[in-house]
Structure 1
Amino acid sequence: MHVSLDHLFDELMTFDFAKLGLRFELPFFVFHGDADIITPPATAKAFFDEIEAPRKHFALIKNAGHLACFARPDQFLSELIERVRPLALAPSSL
């Protein structure tokens, strides 16, 4: 994480989500660690709630921090299989 931060710090400090807009024409998923102290879950959820998308889902990864997909790969994979895979198999069902 320190290597990434060294290279991305300036970008992270000036990044503005609002410039991307809040409306997406594709499904939008957030898989977030429930113990994330870098981006608290409440902050992530507040941003997620502002998003407009044909389908969206916010899932908390239990007992995980900022790198939830690495801390709990079992739950992360389960969420992908349950939430994302069905859309990939039948993209017309957005």
Structure 2
Amino acid sequence: MKHLANTRTPDEYAALIDNARDFIDTEVIPRENLTSAHDGNEVRRVARELQALAQARGLGAPAAAAKMVAWHCHGQSAAPTWSKLAAAFSAPRR
């Protein structure tokens, strides 16, 4: 399997990053709700909603991202937040 950077032109890769950044800014972060961060059912509902929105924008499967955040936050007392998800998958701004 080729690395993502080798399967797209530099312009396509930049557009993908811009699309992902916009998705995080306009869809993910506004849905962050710290009062329900410990409610597993609510977190799963929002994750399903975001997954559908991400796939509609051609961003693939954010379920893998949720698993990565769960792994990253393993053993921490605080529940993972959408801001942590965004930070984990944000590329530096150009």
Question: Relative contact order (alpha carbons < 8 A, sep ≥ 6): 1 or 2 greater?
Answer: 2
Shorter-chain TM-score above 0.5:
no
Normalising by the residue count of structure 2, what TM-score does the alignment of the two structures yield? 0.30
Normalising by the residue count of structure 1, what TM-score does the alignment of the two structures yield? 0.30
